[in-house]
Amino acid sequence: MPDSRSAPIGASSQDRPAASIRQLAPILGFLRPYRGRVVVASVALVVAAAMVLSVGQGLRLLVDRGFAGGNPHVLDQMLVVLLALVVVMAIATGTRFYLVSWIGERVSADIRQAVFSHVLSLSPGFFELARTGEIISRLTADTTLLETVVGSSASLALRNLLLFVGGTVMLAVTSPALTTLVMVGVPVVVVPIIFFGRRVRRWSRASQDRIADVGAFGEETLHGIRTVQAFCHEDIDRSRFKERVEAAFGTATRRIRQRALLTAFVILLVFTAVGVILWVGGREVIAGRLSAGDLSAFVFYSVLVAGSVGAISEVVGDVQRAAGAAERLLELLATRPDISAPSPAQALPHPVRGVIEFEQVRFHYPTRPETPALDRFTLHVRSGERLALVGPSGAGKTTVFQLLLRFYDPQDGCVCLDGVDVRTVRPEDLRSRIGLVPQDPVIFATDAWENIRYGRPGASDAEVRAAAEAAYAANFLDRLPQGFGSQLGERGVRLSGGQRQRIALARAILRDPAVLLLDEATSALDAESERMVQQALERLMVGRTTIIIAHRLATVLKADRIAVMLDGQIVSSGRHDDLIAEGGLYARLAALQFGQTAGADHRRAEAAFSGGGGSS
């Protein structure tokens, strides 16, 4: 069975070319603020590598002057020199490890902050197509991969590269003839690294995408756990989750297989070459053309070079995976928000009067380009007016709110606040003048203080409590174990629907906006709570422009004007009594809800208000 939740952000990993290591280049920009530490770490790395290379020369002197010369005093001196080299190497290595690890953690944290900050600036249209779980995967798993490379693998690669270059130079100094033999074998080792490295990179990107699929599905299922259990969907979701886990495992297995083959080939070829060198060098010593100390140093450097090549081949896999992670993060950072502040931005009048105008607006959502949510929509709302929007689901009522908040821009026409086109205003300035009480309020996993203070972050505790009291939320909050300091649970799981809605109302009261948007603000309340909240709303609506979306007509009877919407257009407007007298769509809805007519009128009203799968 196909599952719509499997669609990733952008193209799938099979559609994209394998990530190039060049993808890591922009990440270097995050190192710039810490270049002082990078320099110190680099110096420590070079010193440590130099000490390792010096050990080979110490070994040569120890064998030729100490062992072969039979002089205990020289042996003692050589041992002291070796120990001094080891002490310097240990200090340099420890310094390098600390600084590089610190830089890796710091850069990873900076990248996470940059990506999250950028994601918050993206418009709601992006999230229609993107999956939250995959974005979280990029924020966590992908940045962790980069932290591994910056804080470990990169320095190991540089260290081993220095040892490879330095060891090769020392090989040439010790025995040019044997070094020529080593250089002949280098291409035999490098070719498999390149061949298998490309495969590791491709499967690394695919593996990261499959892990993102697992996270996205798991997060969505757990967020909807009540629905999952209510519909006995556990076994189906277990099966679907297992499919994604097995797909991720299969892809990871292919990546591991390629990396294992790479490591095995490198070890086989490198240490076979060391064996050949020992055989040839041993014959040179027997023939008297090479000293035992020179052979010992040469073997040391050969093992050092071989180990460096093997370590680099291991690091290549990490770097390839990091390249895939960098590509995914850069893809996210490169996504430009559809809604942005113009330059220069126009200022709204101060204070805002709340005059709202929609002029011949045509708009369709990115996911439904063939169906307009608003079509030649024109609406004028006076300052301080209470306007109710009614109509069937899919008529475009919620879309009016979305455009007024500038979550989207219309394809044609314009939306104005106090005569200013909202597209010419900074979105933050526009939204700061608007208060929203949604039908399904979002409660964050923190305490009541912070949830209500979302309406105005700088508000004092006294102002937060006053807003809660005005929304009739203080009584039930005070009864919680820690009162206003009680954690409300993820998505407000510890609250009832009516309590969550009163928290949202308290936010709007605290915001004290010029324009108030109420989306079925009392739909989840019981009769007593609804009466109290209606009283709070009555006080809140005084002196400010209010637009109310309502399916329950009892909530809009006191509106100054009612606009009836159908198929993205206003088909009639007026006060309740006038619209009833006029007949038509509103009268049929009133008949259905208030029981003023029966029979055919009821059937016509049900037919009119049962359709529409689009945004309300």
Q: Contact 65/294 with Cβ under 8 angstroms? A: no
Distance CA 291, CA 285 (A): 6
Q: pLDDT tens digits, residue range 162-217?
A: 888 888 888 788 778 777 776 776 666 667 766 766 677 677 767 777 777 787 78
More confident residue, 246 or 278: 246
Domain ranges in the chain are: 12-334, 349-433+545-616
Digit-coded pLDDT (tens) for 26-78 = 777 888 888 888 899 889 888 988 888 887 777 777 776 666 556 677 777 77
Strand order, beta sheet including 420-421: 374-381, 356-363, 412-417, 420-421
What is the average pLDDT value for the chain, to the nearest integer? 78
**Model confidence pLDDT, tens digit, residues 557-578:** 778 899 998 888 889 888 888 8
3 pLDDT more than 50: no
At residue 366, the 3 state secondary structure works out as coil
Token pair of 85 as six digits:
């080299």
pLDDT more than 70, % of the chain? 84
Identify whether the C-beta of residue 535 lies closer than 8 Å to the C-beta of residue 471: no
Is 277 buried (19+), middle (13-18) or exposed (0-12) by CB count in 10 A?
Answer: buried
Count of beta carbons in the 10 Å neighbourhood of residue 407 = 16
CATH number of 349-433+545-616: 3.40.50.300
pLDDT recorded at residue 380: 94
What's the confidence (pLDDT) of residue 21? 61
Q: From edge to edge, which strands make up the β-sheet containing 434-437? A: 434-437, 515-519, 545-549, 386-390, 561-566, 569-574
Residue 614's pLDDT is 42
Overall fold of domain 12-334 = ABC transporter transmembrane region fold (1.20.1560)
Kind of pairing, strands 545-549 and 561-566? Answer: unpaired
Structure tokens at 149: 């490379």
What's the rounded Cα separation, in Å, for the pair 504 and 257?
Answer: 53
| Residues 548, 389 contacting (CB under 8 angstroms) | yes
CB 472 within 8 A of CB 522: no
